[in-house]
């Protein structure tokens, strides 16, 4: 995956706009309703909206190889009756190209890397020509983004007025991962809409349906299944089980049992994906970081390049994050704040542990970011820490080749400290 980062070729003024975020946050906290703040807020929406429109135009006029062409091709092979998890049919059905660099090594020679139920989504556009399919596809992604904005606004603002809505719009539009999602034609906003829907109705069986849909979109979200398990939400777990069975049966009915079994038995990501794929700068997981810290010239041909000391660093750090997270989620008090923190903590934990957390996945950070902003103190050092933390998410995930893993790591650490503090407070009250 050596295609130029999206911001280098298509953004322009987007390089500077992320540095205005601190002014936006300070204005929202201290100067709501003031003309100066409203002017900055309006400027951010205009600039952010202009950049998003520019990116969407480029994506629709020139469907990107990474990732839209790959997603379309998965669906195209599936609706043609071939097994999308075997590379045999890809060269014939993909056409003569041209393809972006590494497309043959990472797609045509590998096969689909998404679970079978996701093929139902890709198959909905796989029967159309590539240039036609991108239009309805991007309409759905924009609609999902609008849904995420509304859900963030309604969930994390006690008085969801128009000014709070404008603030939400600005922070979402100028997030670098938002632009990356639209430029690559990715499906992140569909998954995040499901995560937010689950947040709002987390005690019902339908929450399990939302969690399964999010996991089908991106396996990263599977970590959220720990929430109902550790918090004893049995109706939610029943929803997870039921939705998993229905989604699996639907994919088997549509594409055949052999396709489903192939994904489990001969997974393309672990058996045929080139090893360098896991080391590229866009992979900001603990695994990607470990592989870049301890490079090895003789990687195996296919699959994640495990081996000492890389495997020890990755599995050791992932085990620490997972164990602390599981214990804190399990022990959180049965209060509204405890439930919220437990759910929010799992999000950055999953981003760190999942072995292939791409830069465009960072739109998921919007959920813990808005949660922390909603819990900010009215004054004092912790207020300024919250402003600095939320503001830092933008440049940290914007600069190509930067250690973007610091962003989810900082969110996870902050939420973990908050969770420890809530445990201590609960113990004091019991005493």
47-79 tens-digit pLDDT: 899 999 999 999 999 999 888 999 999 999 999
What mean pLDDT comes out for the span 299-328? 85
Q: How many domains does the chain have?
A: 1
User: Which candidate, 169, 71, 66, places its Cα nearest to that of 112?
Assistant: 71
- Omega within 30 of 0 (cis) for the link into 57: no
Residue 294, in any domain of the structure: yes
Specify the 3-state DSSP secondary structure of 11.
coil
pLDDT at 9: 40
Q: Cα Rg for the chain, rounded, in angstroms?
A: 22
What pTM value is reported for the model?
Answer: 0.93
Tokens of 47: 């600039």
pLDDT at 220: 94
Residue 142, in any domain of the structure: yes
pLDDT at 292: 86
Residue 1, in any domain of the structure: no
Q: Which domain holds residue 260?
A: 6-430
Q: Are 280 and 1 in contact (CB under 8 A)?
A: yes
185-231 tens-digit pLDDT: 999 999 999 999 999 998 899 999 999 999 999 999 999 999 999 99
- Please state, for a pLDDT cut of 90, what percent of the chain lies above it: 71
Average pLDDT, the chain: 90
Least confident of 92-96, 160-164, 290-294: 92-96
Annotate 88-156 with three-state secondary structure.
HHHHHHHCCCCCCCCHHHHHHCCCCCCCCCHHHHHHHHHCCCHHHHHHHHHHHHHHHHHHHHHHHHHHH
What is the enclosing helix (H) or strand (E) of 414?
Answer: helix 406-430
More confident call, 94 vs 345: 345
Q: Is the pLDDT of residue 316 over 70?
A: yes
pLDDT at 385: 97
Q: How confident is the model at residue 241 (pLDDT cuts 50, 70, 90)?
A: very high
Q: Are 7 and 15 in contact (CB under 8 A)?
A: yes
State the DSSP code for 404: T
Q: Is the pLDDT of residue 160 over 80?
A: no
68-119 tens-digit pLDDT: 999 999 999 999 999 999 998 888 888 767 788 888 889 999 999 999 999 9
Q: Is the pLDDT of residue 394 over 60?
A: yes
How many distinct helices (H) and strands (E) make up the chain? Answer: 23, 0
The beta strands (E) that lie in 148-213 are given as none
d(CA 184, CA 1): 12
pLDDT at 18: 74
d(CA 57, CA 272): 34
Residue 101, in any domain of the structure: yes
pLDDT at 298: 58
Residue 340, in any domain of the structure: yes
**Terminal-to-terminal C-alpha distance of the chain:** 56
pLDDT at 25: 96
């Amino acid at each position: 995956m050596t295609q130029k980062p999206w911001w280098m070729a298509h953004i322009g003024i987007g390089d500077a706009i992320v540095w205005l975020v601190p002014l936006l946050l300070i204005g929202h906290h201290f100067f709501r309703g003031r003309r100066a703040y409203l002017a900055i807020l309006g400027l951010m929406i205009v600039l952010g909206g202009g950049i998003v429109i520019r990116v969407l135009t480029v994506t629709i006029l020139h469907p990107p190889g990474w990732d839209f062409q790959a997603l379309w091709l998965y669906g195209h092979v599936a609706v043609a009756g071939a097994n999308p998890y075997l590379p045999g049919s890809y060269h014939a059905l993909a056409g003569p190209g041209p393809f972006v660099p590494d497309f043959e090594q990472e797609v045509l020679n590998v096969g689909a890397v998404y679970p079978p139920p996701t093929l139902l989504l890709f198959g909905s556009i796989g029967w159309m020509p590539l240039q036609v399919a991108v239009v309805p596809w991007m309409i759905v992604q924009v609609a999902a983004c609008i849904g995420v904005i509304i859900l963030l606004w309604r969930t994390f603002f006690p008085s969801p007025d128009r000014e709070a809505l404008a603030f939400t719009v600005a922070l979402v539009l100028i997030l670098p991962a938002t632009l990356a999602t639209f430029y690559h034609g990715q499906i992140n906003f569909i998954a995040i809409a499901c995560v937010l829907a689950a947040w709002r109705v987390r005690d019902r069986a339908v929450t399990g349906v939302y969690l399964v849909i999010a996991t089908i979109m991106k396996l990263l979200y599977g970590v959220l299944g720990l929430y109902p398990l550790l918090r004893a939400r049995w109706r939610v777990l029943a929803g997870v089980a039921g939705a998993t069975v229905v989604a699996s049966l639907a994919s088997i009915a549509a594409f055949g049992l052999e396709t489903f079994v192939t994904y489990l038995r001969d997974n393309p990501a672990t058996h045929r994906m080139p090893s360098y794929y896991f080391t590229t700068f866009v992979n900001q997981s603990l695994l990607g970081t470990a592989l870049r810290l301890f490079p090895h010239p003789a990687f195996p041909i296919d699959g994640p390049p495990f081996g000492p000391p890389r495997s020890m660093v990755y599995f050791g750090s992932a085990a620490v994050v997972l164990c602390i997270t599981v214990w804190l989620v399990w022990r959180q008090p049965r209060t509204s704040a405890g439930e919220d923190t437990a759910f929010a903590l799992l999000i950055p934990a999953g981003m760190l542990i999942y072995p292939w957390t791409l830069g465009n996945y960072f739109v998921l950070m919007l959920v813990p970011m808005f949660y922390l902003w909603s819990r900010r103190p009215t004054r004092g050092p912790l207020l300024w820490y919250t402003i600095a933390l939320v503001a830092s998410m933008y440049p940290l995930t914007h600069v190509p080749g930067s250690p973007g893993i610091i962003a989810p790591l900082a969110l996870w650490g902050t939420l973990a400290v908050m969770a420890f503090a809530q445990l201590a407070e609960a113990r004091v009250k019991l005493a």
